[in-house]
């Protein structure tokens, strides 16, 4: 199969690979670049577990061709903590019991991060809207919504 080069920044690190033309970003991140934080729950754009951030926008990596990400800036949950210090969202998901099996968690956190980056003081409705593309089978959505609101509050306290 024809290989094509892809090059992008992943969590601040420059990455380059030759991949099968037509490979999804999900497959390339997981199988080629060793970042297994995005998960494949459906591979058809319905569950959100593969969510990553591409140039500041939330994207389903299972529906994104890796070739289209050339030169992009890609962020995943694996790169969220800086120097071992957890992001407020990560702390809040832990404190609010917002993860059980954890399979949906990296995608949830990415969706929440894009929300908080754009809207640091979201309402409950904003959070529900932002997470509406992400399915969790275990936890129930209330702890997750609470976690995102808690993270928003702790962010604004830090900023104050």
Partner 1 sequence: MKLAKDYFADQRTEELKELGQGLQRSDVPGHVTGKTSYFADRTFPGMLCLRMVRSPHHHARIRSVDLSEAERHPGVHRILTHKDIPHNLYTILILIQVGPEDEHVLAEDKVRWKGEAVVAVLADSEWAANEAAAKVRIDYEVLPSVLDIDAALAPDAPIVNEHHGQNHYMYDSGPSRKVRYGDVEKGFAEADHILEQTYYSSPIEQAPMETTGCIVTPDGNDRFTCYTNTQAMFFTLDNTSIILQMPGHKLHMVGGTVGGGFGGKVDVTVEPIAILAAKLTGRPVSFIYSRYEEMQVSSPRAAEKIVLKDGVMNDGHIVARQVWGYTDAGAYSRHSPYGAQKGAAHYPGPYTIPNVWVDTWCVYTNRTPSSAMRGFGVTIADFALEVQMDKLARLIGMDPLEFRFINAYRDGDMKAHRQPTTGAALIECMQEASRVASWPVAEKYMQMSSYKGG
Give residues in contact with ligand FES (CB under 6 A): 40-43, 45-50, 60, 62, 99-105, 136-139
Determine the straight-line distance between the first and last CA of the chain, rounded to whole angstroms: 54
110 contacts 52 by C-beta, under 8 angstroms: yes
Q: Does 54 bind partner 1 (CB under 8 A)?
A: no
2-10, 63-71, 103-111, 119-127 -> range binding partner 1 (CB under 8 A): 103-111
Closest distance to partner 1 from the beta carbon of 26 (Å) = 11
The Cα–Cα gap between 37 and 7 comes to 19
Dmax (CA) of the chain: 54
Contact with partner 1 (CB under 8 A) among 5, 7, 18, 31: 31
Site mask for partner 1 (CB under 8 A), range 33-52, x = bound: --xxxxxxxxxx-xx-x---
Nearest Cα to Cα of residue 107 among 133, 88, 139, 137: 133
Among residues 28, 88, 41, 38, which one has the least CA distance to residue 58?
Answer: 38
- Interface positions with partner 1 (CB under 8 A): 1, 20, 30-31, 35-44, 46-47, 49, 76-78, 80-81, 86, 89-90, 93-95, 97, 99-106, 109, 135-138
């Amino acid at each position: 199969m024809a290989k094509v080069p892809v090059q992008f920044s992943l969590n601040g690190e420059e990455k380059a690979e030759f991949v099968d033309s037509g490979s999804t970003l999900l497959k390339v991140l997981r199988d080629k670049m060793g970042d297994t934080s995005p998960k494949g729950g459906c591979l058809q754009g319905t569950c959100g577990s593969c969510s990553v951030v591409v140039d500041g926008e939330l994207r389903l990596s299972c529906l994104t061709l890796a070739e289209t990400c050339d030169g992009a800036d890609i962020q995943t949950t694996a790169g969220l903590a800086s120097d071992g210090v957890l992001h407020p969202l990560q702390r809040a998901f832990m404190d609010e019991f917002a993860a059980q099996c954890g399979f949906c968690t990296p995608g949830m956190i990415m969706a929440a991060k894009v929300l908080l980056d754009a809207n640091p003081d979201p309402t409950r409705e904003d959070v529900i809207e932002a997470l509406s593309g992400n399915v969790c089978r275990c936890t129930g959505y209330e702890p997750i919504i609470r976690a995102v609101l808690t993270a928003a509050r702790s962010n604004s306290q830090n900023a104050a």
